[in-house]
Every structure is written in structure tokens, then in C-alpha cells.
Structure 1
Amino acid sequence: MPDSADPHRLTPLERRSSASLATISSLRLLGLFLVLPVFSLEVAHLPGGDNPAWVGLALGIFGLTQGLFQIPFGLASDRFGRKRLITLGLGLFTAGSVLAAFAPSVGWMVLARALQGSGAVSAAATALLADQTRDVVRTQAMSWVGGSIGLVFAVSVGVAPLLANAVGLSGVFLVTGALAAMGVVLLHLWVPPEPVRDAGLQRGRLRDVLDSPELLRLNFGVFLLHAVQVAMWTAIPSMLVQAGLPKAQHWWVYLPVVGLSFVLMGMTLFPMERRGRLRAIFLLAVGLIALVEVALAGVVAARPSVLLLSLLMFVFFYGFNVLEASMPSMASRLSPKNIRGASLGVYNTLQSFGFFAGGLVGGALFEPGGSPWLFGVCALGMLAWLVVAWPMVAPGRPPRASPAKPG
């Protein structure tokens, strides 16, 4: 039962759900992010690794298949149960990781990465967390999962080169498979049981998701957010190097920046939500990221210092963490229970396509040391999202009652 003194606090069961599903998400994301910093260099040793088109396909096809399978997994989780689909997805990711570890050529690596991506569990996992938490604490619960994305990304940037040097690309993929397999064990030993499903609940349709203007705003936004995240990180590492920070020491910036931004997010987002200001802080976060992109576009030629880049990344990750915590919470609260899995499937599909599109844009506009065109395009994307999101109605605040008519 919720704490009667403060209904805005997570109950022990809600904390267990949040912690366990955030851990599973972190293990899977760590497996994914560990590959990114070293993949293009290490895969060059395979037959066909000298072909940039095949290497790019092997890297990017994960996001493509991930996006294609999110909606089917979400719909199936509405019908057959969340844990079954999460187990299946983590199993596919593990199998793809093992195949990648022993891939004899880049062609086989493409197949392995596609198999990894087909294990699209994000929608089912987010829907399960939504099923196990109350609306009033949903954003707090989602922040545990959302915050893990930025933290795991920062850790992987520092750990991946060391791990690849020690065990090679095959070893990195075996580690990713082992992490996913650990996720299956945790799912069945630690995550609380699924709520009993209402047998009389009408099955939802994909069309119901596409008919909601508020859900469409969120889906448009999550696509742009992750496209911008991936695109700008094609340039940020080289900018840090040009500012005088060796690649092996980039984690000195990433870990403090992500950690402090997460603390600030917790200090501002949750109190603002309790005061009914979720829309305000949501729009503020979008605007802050747009300002970061404008600033980066303006300072590229001046070769900014490590301190200035750290400050801009702090602002970026603050906005990113606010959005990562609030958006899936809003999507789940705006969705009726019978289409929650489908709704989050669409949401995560657009998220995956955002990763894919960000890689394409970043690759096309990348210049060593940063490109004003790259950051300019990112700024325009965020400003477009701000315009689209402005009329949004945040969930959780019922419309003001109309005055009663006399008589």
C-alpha cells in the first residue's frame, strides 16, 4: 500500500519493480553501447571489413530491426504477457551476440546484428513497469530506467576500448550475450509478478494509438531526441580530443556530467510534477537541448575548451534525463491499459528509428573537430519539436470542471 503520509513516494514493491527493470535495461544497454565505440575499428579485421558500406550496415541494422520489431512485441505483450515477450527478446539478443562473436565475415556480422535487434523488449519492459506502478509515481519509476541510459552510455565510452584491447571484438560480444542472459535470470527471480490481467478487457488496436494527438507528439519527439543524441556524438569525441583531452580520458567528463545532471533532474522534475508543472519542465528541457545545439554550432570554429564542452554536455544531459524520465511515463499514462504495450511499441519504434536516422545524419555531416552544419541541423530539429510539443496536455491533470448550469 502507498505511504499514507506521502502518496508521492514509491512503495517497496514499486521500488523493487523500478530497480529490477532498470537493472535489466542497463545490462542490455551496456551490451549494446559497449560495441559502438570499437565496432568500426575491430570489424575491419574480418573478411569484407574494408568495405565501408557493409561495415555501416552491420553497425546500423541493429537499430532498423529493433524498430521493426517493437510494435509486434508490444502488441504481443498486451495479449500473451510481458515477461514471456521480454524473455523471448533477451533470448534473441543473446543468440545474436553469440553469432556475432563467431561471425566469420562481415556478411555474417550483419545477420548477427539483425538477430540482436530483433529482440525488441523495450516496449514490453516499459509496459510492465507501468503495470506495476501508480500514475502518481510513474515518472519517478521511469526515471530509474531513463537515467540508466545516460549512465550506461558514459560508462561504456570509457570501458569499451579497454575491454576490446583485452578480449577483442569477439570477447565484447560474448560479454554482451552474458549480460542479456543475466537479464533473463533477474527477470524471473527479482521482478515482481505481473498483475492479473482482466480477461474481459477489449483487445487494443494499433489504430487507437495513431488516433491520439498527444501520443503522436511524444512519438515525434522521441524520434528527434535520439536522432540528435546519436548525431551529435559523432562529433563530440573529436571535439574533446582537439580541446586537449585524450580519448582514454573522456570518461573523466562523461561520468561526472551524467551523474550531476541526473541529480539535478531528480531535484527539479519530481517537485515540478507534483505541483502540476510537468508540461513546463518538459518544454524547458526541449528548449535547453535546442540551445545547446545552437551554442555548439556557434563555437565549433573557436575550438571550445574542455570546460565549455563539459558545461554544454551537462545542460544537454539534464534536458535528456528529464525527457527520458517523463516521456515514457506520459506515454503509458495517456494509453488505456488494453493498448499500453502497443502504444509503447510505437514509442520505442520511433526511438529506434531515431538512433538509425541520427547515425545517418551524423555520418553525412561529420567533420573532425565538429561541424556547424551538424549542430545546426540538430538545433532545427529540436526547435521543430518545441513547436509541435507546445500545445501538449500533460497527463494527470483533469480538465477544469465547467460551471454548473442553473436549473
Structure 2
Amino acid sequence: MAANGLSGVEKKVAFSLASVFGLRMMGLFMIMPVFALYGQHLEGFSPLWVGIAIGAYGLTQALLQIPMGMLSDKYGRKPIILIGLVLFAIGSVIAAMSDHIYGVVLGRAIQGMGAIAAAVLALAADLTRDEQRTKVMAVIGICIGFSFALSLLVGPIATQSLGLEGLFYLTAALAVVGMLIVQFFVPNPITQAPKGDTVAVPEKLKRLFVDPQLFRLDAGIFILHLVLTAVFVALPLDLVDAGLVKEKHWMLYFPAFVGAFFLMVPLIIIGVKRNNTKGMFQVALIIMMLSLAAMGMFAGNLWVLAAAVLLFFTGFNYLEASLPSLIAKFCPSGDKGSAMGVYSTSQFLGAFCGGMIGGGAYQYLGASGVFFAGLALIGVWLLLTIGMKNPVLLKSYTLNAHFTDSDHAKAMATELSALAGVAEAIVVVEEKVAYLKVDDNFNLSDARAVLRSVN
């Protein structure tokens, strides 16, 4: 294998698992820009139930994300991923066949029961070398972002042609395609990455949840997805009232989302060059607050709404892209899987609460009430960032090791800690692994030499 790049197998793993993740996320996202507009024929339709239907997947995702990851440890990654995709397809069909909004809520909740994110990321870890794992995870992350952008294009166009029922059947078909990719294109793992690096460990969750830096990030992703879901309860209806017919909404969403990617690049560059992630984080939050204020104050002006959507996605894209990497930087060595478990649960719980709050606010306060509520919540997040620290720029490695006993492990941890560039070294005898956090002065071959001396 190439030492400085992805091998052929790792490239196959990255793109096949990214495709599975992307297809599933598209199935979840495509309903967001269209349901408030195309679901009005459903019995029991109301703004509150629109919000619940859009966000229902988040509750079951939040409840099952960690258990599904743990089951993948016990029964294997692929079987759990396939079961999750089957549940997603079943939920899609139930939603498609429903003529009452309660049936759609049930279908969306069953879609969310296919909580495969942890299992997919763990499988990616199983199939890649530790030094290349970050690149594979980055490919998957980029695909998730692209799937959201594509859903804003495909959702309105597909619903216009197929109707809401057809859109749900399309999401079921995407799940089937995902199953075929898992079965025939994703390699079978021979070894399993340490669970502390990939899947949540229950006894670690409470400690990570109360960590002040991680708590800020977990609360942030909760608020971010709450606001996103709430906005899409009100924004489609607001755009129609402002004169943009529902068949043309994609002509606003998709260019705005793509344009926002380019606008967020300066925030990333400045944050990295000046090591001022906190400052750029706060700028992104202020941009989102300005966009929500504009949506609330100028609901009838289509041009202002278009500019506000562009600003909203600029802030959203930066924050969505930054949060996972910050979780990895702030979490203790060896606790990445548990930290991401808390993070993912917060994210999906935010989507559920966003549907509830957005639907209720729209029903009783109108669209402006939704936007101003989102503005207030982003303001709370901005206050939380006051105590946020800029992360130290470190890389994480997970190296296989075999120790005779705990004393031997402690000795090796001491030796690893003494290597140039090592900021933190943790050795876990039960997992036969060494977790390292290192800076640019670290030489991987030195660490391997230390570990070879004990194997």
C-alpha cells in the first residue's frame, strides 16, 4: 500500500460508503423543502404536524444511533447497515401509502430507526489504515454535504413530477440501491477497529457530555439542526407568499447552497491561517442571525429572502463542516467514537425538536415567529461560544499493539509519550491499541518501532 495516499481498496471503501451515506441522507432531506407545500392534501394537515413529520426521523435516530453502533460491534457492521436500510425503505413505503399525516409521521419515524451512521463510520475505520482514516472520513463528510445540496435540487423537481407519494417511493428505491452497494461493492472487513475509536462506549458518555468544550459543540449542533428544520417548516410557504411558485423553489435553494460553499471558504482559510476557529465560528453565527432577522422582517420581499437564504447557508455550511473536526480535536484520545455518539444524538434530537418548535411557532405565531425564534436560539449559541477555546492543531492516530499486562502497557505509554511531537498517549490493554494525539513534529515510524519492540 502507498504510505502517503489511499490504496485502491481504501478508495473503494471511501466512495462506496460515502454513496450509501449520501443516498440515505438524500432520502431524509428531500422532503424538507417540499412537504409544507405538497402535503396539504393529507388528512390532518396543519403546520404543527408538518413540523412533526419533517423532524420525526430525528427522534428515532437520536434514540437508536448509539445502540445500533453497539450492535454493529456485536453482530457485524454489514448486517446492521443492511437492517437499517431495510427499515428506511419500509418507512418510506409506509409514508408513500399514507393519506393521513399521522401515517407520514409514522413512516418518517421508521425511516429514522435505520440509524446506520455509527455503523457506517465504524466500518470505514475497520477497512482503512489509521494514518489514512481521516481522509476516508473527509470523503464521507463531503458526500453528506453534497447530498444535502442535491436534495434541495432533486426534492422539488421529483415532487413536481412524481408527487409526494412518488418522492417517498423514490427514497425507498435509494435505500435499495444503498443495500446493493453494501452487499456487492463494500469490502468485507477482516479486522475490526478499536471500538473506542469508532463506536460509543456507554460508560464514557456522561463524562463526555459534561466536558465544557464538548458540551458547547453538542449544544451547538442541537441548535443548528433545530433551526434548520424549523426554517424549512416556514420558508417554503413564505417564498410562495412572496411570489415564487413552488415549482421554482429549487432555482433558489440549489444555487444558494452552492454559492454558500464558496462564501464560506474565506472563513475556513482565515480560521486556519490565524488559528482563530473561535472567531470565525462567531462570525458564522452572526451571519446566520442576520439572515434569520432578514427572513423575519422582510417576509414579503423575494429578493431579500433570496439573499437571506444565501447568508443562512453560508453560516450553516461553515458550522456543519467545522463541528465534527472540532469534536475530534477536543475529545480525549481513544474517546472519538463516544464523543461522536453524543454529537450525533444531539444533532438528530435537534432535528426532531426543530420540527416540533417550527410547526408550533408557525401555527400560532406565523413565519416571522419561526425565524425570530431561530434568531434567539442562535443568539444563545453565540453566548455559549464566549468560553470556547481555539483547538490545538493535533492529529490523532490509532495503532494496534499487544501488551503482556497493565504494567507493560504503562511503560509503553511512557515511552510513546516521550517521542517527539506526541501530546498525549493512551494505551488500552483490553483493546490492544495505543491512541496518540500528535503535532507536526511526530514521526509515525518512531511510534511503530516502539510498539514493535513489545509485540
Q: TM-score, normalised by structure 2?
A: 0.71
Give the equivalent residue in structure 2 for 1:260.
259
**Number of residues of Structure 1 aligned to a counterpart in Structure 2:** 389
**Distance of 2:50 and 2:372 partners within structure 1:** 27
Q: CA deviation at 1:329?
A: 2.9
**Alignment check: 8 A CA contact 1:30 1:153 kept:** yes
Q: CA deviation at 1:282?
A: 2.9
**Alignment check: 8 A CA contact 1:70 1:122 kept:** yes
Q: CA deviation at 1:270?
A: 6.0
Q: CA deviation at 1:336?
A: 5.7
Go from structure 1 to structure 2 and tell me whether the alpha carbon gap of 1:183 and 1:359 turns closer, same or farther (over 3 Å shift).
Answer: same
Give the equivalent residue in structure 2 for 1:118.
113
Q: CA deviation at 1:206?
A: 2.6
Alignment of 1:326-365 (within 5 A): 326-335=322-331, 339-365=335-361
**Alignment check: 8 A CA contact 1:241 1:247 kept:** yes
**Alignment check: 8 A CA contact 2:278 2:385 kept:** no
Question: Which has the greater radius of gyration?
Answer: 2
Aligned partner of residue 366 in structure 1, secondary structure: helix
1:94 aligns with 2:89: yes
**Distance of 2:265 and 2:7 partners within structure 1:** 17
Q: CA deviation at 1:371?
A: 3.6
**Distance of 2:182 and 2:256 partners within structure 1:** 30
1:150 aligns with 2:144: no
**Distance of 1:310 and 1:391 partners within structure 2:** 34
- When structure 1 is superposed on structure 2, of 142-151 and 186-195 the one drifting more is 186-195
**Alignment check: 8 A CA contact 1:285 1:323 kept:** yes
**Distance of 1:30 and 1:200 partners within structure 2:** 28
Q: CA deviation at 1:288?
A: 1.8
Give the equivalent residue in structure 2 for 1:404.
none
Q: CA deviation at 1:78?
A: 4.7
CA-to-aligned-CA distance 1:208-229 (integer Å, 9 cap, x gap): 2331323222211111001111
**Alignment check: 8 A CA contact 1:139 1:326 kept:** no
1:316 aligns with 2:315: no
Segments of 5+ residues of structure 1 without an aligned counterpart are 402-407
1:388 aligns with 2:387: no
**Alignment check: 8 A CA contact 2:51 2:356 kept:** no
Give the equivalent residue in structure 2 for 1:405.
none
Q: CA deviation at 1:355?
A: 1.4
Give the equivalent residue in structure 1 for 2:67.
72
**Distance of 1:192 and 1:280 partners within structure 2:** 42
**Distance of 1:12 and 1:370 partners within structure 2:** 53
**Alignment check: 8 A CA contact 2:50 2:233 kept:** no
Segments of 5+ residues of structure 2 without an aligned counterpart are 395-420, 424-455
Letter in 2 for 1:196: T
**Alignment check: 8 A CA contact 1:127 1:332 kept:** no
**Distance of 2:177 and 2:73 partners within structure 1:** 24
Q: CA deviation at 1:93?
A: 0.9
CA-to-aligned-CA distance 1:90-140 (integer Å, 9 cap, x gap): 121122223444458666555443322211112333455567475765784
- Identity among equivalent positions (%) equals 34
Which of 154, 171, 174 in structure 2 is aligned with 1:176? 171
CA-to-aligned-CA distance 1:46-74 (integer Å, 9 cap, x gap): 7xx24758777655533322221112123
Give the equivalent residue in structure 2 for 1:29.
25
**Alignment check: 8 A CA contact 2:95 2:104 kept:** yes
Q: CA deviation at 1:310?
A: 1.9
Q: TM-score, normalised by structure 1?
A: 0.79
Give the equivalent residue in structure 2 for 1:211.
207
Structure (1 or 2) with the greater strand fraction = 2
Letter in 1 for 2:142: W
Go from structure 1 to structure 2 and tell me whether the alpha carbon gap of 1:351 and 1:160 turns closer, same or farther (over 3 Å shift).
Answer: farther
Letter in 1 for 2:325: S
